[in-house]
Structure 1
Amino acid sequence: MFIHQKKILGYTLLLFISLSFPLSISAQTRDQVLELLWKGMGGRQSWEEARYFMFSCETELHDMIPGEHSYIWDRVNNNCRFEGTTNDQQKLTVLFNTKTRAGKVYVNNSVIADSDSSSRWLKPILNAFYSDSFWLFPPKLIEAADVTATNEQELIGSNRYYVVDIKIRRPNFGEFPSKLFIDTNTGRIFQWQAFANDGSVLYNFNTSSFKEVGGGLILPTNFADANSSVNISYPIVSALINVEADKFTKP
């Protein structure tokens, strides 16, 4: 069980950190697929103009974070505010920087001064953010990718999809392949498959509930695993123009 949990944690963290794609088609087709992805999300400009995001997430993937939890994220300065509850229903607030990984932990608005106790909460909250934000914001996938490629189009029902193979390689964790099915007409990600090292399917997410979150940016807000009960939902997602500075400094 511990090894399996470590595998899942490594997988979600690595998705945020390092992406590489196998070469199989021309750069022209590769660029067309990327532009199609941007189209499906409302355009590259919509993403670039969105600085602040407020979103909540509900999933069974995080053992230490029961129920719905929320974030306010400054995409430019990497500052983030987390709000949720502990397993014993105490208020948990974590203020951190997604780049430096430094932060402060507050329980019932009181700071946890002890570094070991603080780290016990800070690390899983950081990893939860990497996972939750990765699935929600496909533009982060595009920004992180150095090389992309697609296989031939596949017909599923009456729709055609580009099939994009992704391989993530990271020392100490191994290789983590994924496969994206992108609608050739809308540019939306229809299905997102994640595989274990042995080739078995770790997740088989179907996306749904696409939402215009502000500024023309369109994001999927529900990921349901077709093979299990695993589900990731985002009840609240909004792109914000301004956020009070003390949201990132005070509990």
Structure 2
Amino acid sequence: MHSTIKVKLNLLVALFTAAALCANGQVSQPEITTKLWEAIGGQDNWQQARYFMFSCTGGQKGSFVQGERRYLWDKQTGNCRFEGVTTDDETVIALFNIRTHEGTAYINGVQLNNPRVTEDIIKEAAEEFKRDAYLLFLPTALDGDQVSVKVGDEKLVGTQRFTMVNIKNPKTVFSASVAGQLYVDAQTGQIQKWRPNGSSNEFSVDGFKDIGGGLVLPTRFISSDTSASVTYPLAAALVNIEDQKFERP
């Protein structure tokens, strides 16, 4: 008899706890994951999209280029075209695959014949791509079979209330590792802030833009360290890119 009463009491406590969590606005992991995907146009649209064109400025600590960097990316094959101006004021074009790091490089329109120099430039360009794709495609880091998403408590920042979401993905489709804490508007699913693990920087996220293909991505990441802020003047999902764009300058 006492055992039956204890079970009923435990059940009541569990129900009241669940009701309290809902009343406080906390959401489950499946709910927040669904919201995050809906905010950028849906997981199906992301998986179906293949070609992307984007450019970015800022956030250039340790970079071998200056000013705006420009990219064409085939998400399906991993082929990438990188264009920029080096710190020595030379125009550089690197045509490579983000997964294999194989390809060719051109300085001022002339193809490099030195394998070692070509390898170094492609390595640098691949690192630039990872850094720049990391933020633009941050909301898509939920994609993958190794991703971990944990919903934390709500947090009040100023007058805004956010759901804290810890995310970890060791291998995204854009070949970068993502780990950190998202500040998410639980109503819209939009990411409002991003705090990478192991970094003192915190990014305010805005500039959400319809890039085509039913996708909406953020294009402004304002850091607490202003030198780390990144903006994407151009961001577009394309129906097609000519193969030659990945083969010659």
TM-score calculated relative to the size of structure 2: 0.80
SS in 2 for 1:42: coil
1:48 deviates by 2.1
**Matched-pair contact (CA < 8 Å) for 2:139–2:191:** no
**Matched-pair contact (CA < 8 Å) for 2:170–2:178:** yes
| Higher-Rg member (1/2) | 2
**What code does the residue aligned with 1:44 have?**
Q
What residue in structure 2 maps to residue 133 of structure 1?
Answer: 133
Instruction: Indicate the percent of aligned positions where both proteins have the same amino acid.
Output: 33
CA, structure 1 residues 177+238, in 2 after alignment: closer, same or farther (shift >3 Å)?
Answer: closer
SS in 1 for 2:113: coil
Q: Distance in 2 between matches of 1:137 and 1:166?
A: 14
SS in 2 for 1:192: strand
1:226 deviates by 2.1
What residue in structure 1 maps to residue 50 of structure 2?
Answer: 51
What residue in structure 1 maps to residue 194 of structure 2?
Answer: 192
**What code does the residue aligned with 1:212 have?**
D
Q: Distance in 1 between matches of 2:182 and 2:64?
A: 29
What residue in structure 1 maps to residue 112 of structure 2?
Answer: 112
What residue in structure 2 maps to residue 5 of structure 1?
Answer: none
Consecutive unaligned residues in structure 1, runs of 5 or more = 1-27
Write the deviation string for residues 20-53 of structure 1: whole angstroms up to 9, x where unpaired. xxxxxxxx92121111111111112221232100
Write the deviation string for residues 174-212 of structure 1: whole angstroms up to 9, x where unpaired. x9952111111111111101242xxxx432111111110
Q: Distance in 1 between matches of 2:32 and 2:77?
A: 29
CA, structure 1 residues 42+176, in 2 after alignment: closer, same or farther (shift >3 Å)?
Answer: closer
Q: 2:228 aligns with which of 196, 206, 230?
A: 230
Q: Distance in 1 between matches of 2:33 and 2:168?
A: 17
What residue in structure 2 maps to residue 98 of structure 1?
Answer: 98
Q: Distance in 1 between matches of 2:119 and 2:179?
A: 30
1:72 deviates by 0.4
Q: Distance in 1 between matches of 2:65 and 2:130?
A: 14
**What code does the residue aligned with 2:48 have?**
E
1:164 equivalent in alignment to 2:162: no
- Aligned-pair Cα RMSD in Å: 2.2
Consecutive unaligned residues in structure 2, runs of 5 or more = 1-26, 172-176
1:147 deviates by 2.5
1:154 deviates by 2.1
What residue in structure 2 maps to residue 83 of structure 1?
Answer: 83
1:149 equivalent in alignment to 2:174: no
Q: Which has the higher contact order (CA 8 A, sep 6+)?
A: 1
CA, structure 1 residues 41+176, in 2 after alignment: closer, same or farther (shift >3 Å)?
Answer: closer
Task: Figure out how many residues of one structure are paired with residues of the other and give that number.
Answer: 216
SS in 2 for 1:202: coil
CA, structure 1 residues 177+212, in 2 after alignment: closer, same or farther (shift >3 Å)?
Answer: closer
1:227 deviates by 4.0
1:109 deviates by 1.8
What residue in structure 1 maps to residue 65 of structure 2?
Answer: 65
**Matched-pair contact (CA < 8 Å) for 1:62–1:128:** no
1:106 deviates by 0.7
